[in-house]
Amino acid sequence: MKKKTKNLIIIGFIIYYLVFCSLGIFITNEDYFVTASTNGDTLYVNFLGEVDIGVGYKIRLENERAYVSSNNGVEIIDIQNPTAPSLIGTYDEGAMGFDVKDNILFTVDANGLIVVNATNANALEVIGTSDTGQWAYNVRLNNTLVFAISEGDIDVYDITDLNNPLRVGQYLDTGRGNDIIINGETAYYADPDEGLEVINVSDHTNPVKIRTVSNTHGAWDLCINNDLLYLGCHGAGLRVLDISNPTNPAIIKQFNDGGEVYGVCGNDTYIFLGDLQEGVEVLNYTSSYTLPEIASYVATPHDIDFNENFIYLADQDNGFILLELSPTQNTNTAGSNLYFAFLILPLLGVRIIIQLKHRRKNNTKT
């Protein structure tokens, strides 16, 4: 065999080896293993299970169920076994926005509020409707009131009688709000165009704006933890606000690494960001101004929720994903086998070629 041909074969196998090994590492990271960055205490975000429901948008947790809105409606997922979540029901009407309490689902279509009894997930029953309102981006329940956001407006419904919900108030806004959360007589309204708006809802028939908080442009998703408000800002990261004075929130911490924060939740120790570009980001809530990122996971979340050590995602690419925050890394045998297959197969190919070459050489001599 000519030297030039030998060199071409060697170069070809080197390229083959590098490409396929890189592909093996890529698939392993994306589909089988977590990606984790650490700072201080080591934590990992482990994959446990998923349910393919198409594109996931909003998520709520209640009674060992995850409710996730998708292109198909509102999906009901049994999460009793974290490693094997399963779809048990679908309400195929309604909008992206919804809320749930005591297995009663509140969602909105083009005609107004819909009240659905979801006690039996296999036989969902509409028990009340309202003929006023419009398609909603988000819905938040507060005692006997439901606040539904649609095209910047907030429709307020009285659900004292579940069979006969009534629209009793409306807040008109020039922006396009995405989330609202109520704290006593104060509502916090996330408007990506205007920022975080503070609204007096003591008279729920006539909500009145108090102020817009500066440096909150891109306001998208909200979570309250005692006297703290976690605000996810689309394209601007996270703002942590002190709301001990409810009508005058003050930013006390912030985190921004770019990306698109669509969901936020947290407690006194950790804050969880669902970032469409950066994936899941786990921040450590410290006494300092900074919020160090201590763990992460590759995903495309539209919304995120957290309970004990489990993380739940409404995901753009994978529908519903269930993760675990753990001090140990959960390696996957299938992932390991796949990785080593990509690693070893090129070497086996080289070995076979060498054996064939020697056999051909010996046959020629014979």
pLDDT tens per residue, range 180-237: 999 999 999 999 999 999 999 999 999 999 999 999 999 999 999 999 999 999 889 9
Please check whether residues 170 and 272 belong to one and the same domain: yes
If you average pLDDT over residues 241-266, what whole number do you get? 94
Please check whether residues 338 and 199 belong to one and the same domain: no
Render pLDDT for 81-108 as a digit per residue (tens, 0 to 9): 999 999 999 999 867 889 999 999 999 8
To the nearest whole number, what is the mean pLDDT of the chain?
Answer: 84
pLDDT of 174 reads 78
In the chain, pLDDT over 90 holds for what percent of residues? 65
Please check whether residues 321 and 218 belong to one and the same domain: yes
In the chain, pLDDT over 70 holds for what percent of residues? 78
Please check whether residues 132 and 210 belong to one and the same domain: yes
Please check whether residues 140 and 1 belong to one and the same domain: no
How far apart (Å, rounded) are the C-alpha atoms in residues 188 and 157?
17
If you average pLDDT over residues 59-67, what whole number do you get? 96
Please check whether residues 70 and 217 belong to one and the same domain: yes
- In this structure, the chain runs to a length of 366
Tell me the pLDDT band of 3, cut-offs 50, 70 and 90: low
Please check whether residues 199 and 277 belong to one and the same domain: yes
If you average pLDDT over residues 163-167, what whole number do you get? 95
Please check whether residues 268 and 341 belong to one and the same domain: no
Q: Lowest-pLDDT range, 200-209, 224-233, 276-285, 333-342?
A: 333-342
How far apart (Å, rounded) are the C-alpha atoms in residues 128 and 125?
9
How far apart (Å, rounded) are the C-alpha atoms in residues 7 and 303?
53
Domain count, the chain: 2
Please check whether residues 27 and 41 belong to one and the same domain: no
Q: Show the domain range for 300.
A: 34-330
Separation of CA 47 from chain center: 14
Quote the tokens at residue 133: 């309102």
How far apart (Å, rounded) are the C-alpha atoms in residues 52 and 152?
31
Q: Residue 318: pLDDT above 60?
A: yes
Please check whether residues 28 and 45 belong to one and the same domain: no
Please check whether residues 259 and 358 belong to one and the same domain: no
Render pLDDT for 7-53 as a digit per residue (tens, 0 to 9): 555 555 555 555 544 444 443 343 434 444 444 567 899 999 999 99
Q: What CATH code is carried by the domain that includes residue 83?
A: 2.130.10.10
pLDDT of 28 reads 38
| Secondary structure (3-state) at 67 | strand
Q: Lowest-pLDDT range, 122-131, 139-148, 242-251, 350-359?
A: 350-359
Q: Residue 244: pLDDT above 60?
A: yes
Please check whether residues 133 and 181 belong to one and the same domain: yes
187-190 own/partner pairs: CB under 8 Å, 24+ apart: 187/147, 187/154, 188/222, 188/224, 188/229, 188/243, 188/249, 189/149, 189/154, 190/219, 190/220, 190/221, 190/222, 190/231
